Amino acid sequence: MKKTICTHFVAGLLTICMMLCGFSTVPAYAMENDVNVVPTVITTGTDEESKDDNIVAYAGHDVFPYATNYAVGGFTFTTSNLTPTKTVGNDARMHRLIFKIRLMPADTLASTVPFRFTIIKQDGNRYTTDWYTITSGAPSVITNNPDETGVNSAIPVSPGETVQFFFETDYGRSIQIENYWVYCD
C-alpha cells in the first residue's frame, strides 16, 4: 500500500514537471549573418543574455562602440523578429543611437510588403517607425539618421544601456534584411 502511494506520488510529480517544462516559452532569435566575421565573446555582463562567462554571441554583436558605423548583419524573417539584447558601449560620450536598414521583400509573388521597426530600450520605452511600403525588385533603405532625413529622430541612449530591435511585417509575409547598421555617439 505504501509503495503504491509513493509510486503514484512520484508519477504525479513527474507529470507536473513535464507539463511545466512543455508549456514554458523560450525566446528564439533569427541568426544574423555576422559581416564582421569574429563572434563576440562576452566575459562579463549584467543582461539576461550574458549572465554566464564566455558566452559566444552568434546573433550579431552585443556591444556597439562609440562613433563606429557598425554592420550587424542580415537575415530573413517571416511576420516578425526580435533580436537578442544588445548593449550600447560604456563610453561617457554616448547619447544617441542611429540605425540604417537595407531590406527587400523575400516573397517572390509580393509586389509590396509593409514593414515597421521598433527599438525597445531596457526601461521599456519603445521607439517605433511608421509603416513603410517595401517594393520588390530593388532594396529599400530606412534610417533615422538626421544627416540623411533632415529630422532629428536619433534615439536617446545612455552608456551601458541595453536595447533590442523588433522587425515586423504582415502575418505570413517575409522580408530579407540584407544588412543593418547601428551608430552610437
Element (H, E) at 24: none
Q: How far apart are CA 157 and CA 46, in angstroms?
A: 17
pLDDT in tens, the chain (185 residues): 666 776 777 777 777 766 665 554 444 444 454 444 343 333 333 444 434 433 333 444 568 888 888 888 888 989 999 988 888 888 888 888 999 999 888 877 778 889 999 999 988 899 999 999 988 877 889 888 888 877 778 889 998 898 999 999 998 889 999 888 988 88
Instruction: State how far Cα 7 lies from the chain centre.
Output: 46
Domains recognised in the chain with CATH numbers: 61-184 (2.60.120.260)
Contact, 175 vs 134, CB < 8 A?
Answer: yes
Element (H, E) at 146: helix 146-149
State how far the alpha carbon of 6 is from the alpha carbons of 15, 71, 165, 183, in Å: 14, 59, 50, 61
C-alpha cell at 45: 555582463
How many residues are present in the chain?
185
Vertex 43 angle, CA 71 and 45, to 5°: 80
Residue 23 — left, alpha, or beta (φ > 0 → left; ψ -120 to 50 → alpha)?
A: alpha
Contact, 114 vs 170, CB < 8 A?
Answer: yes
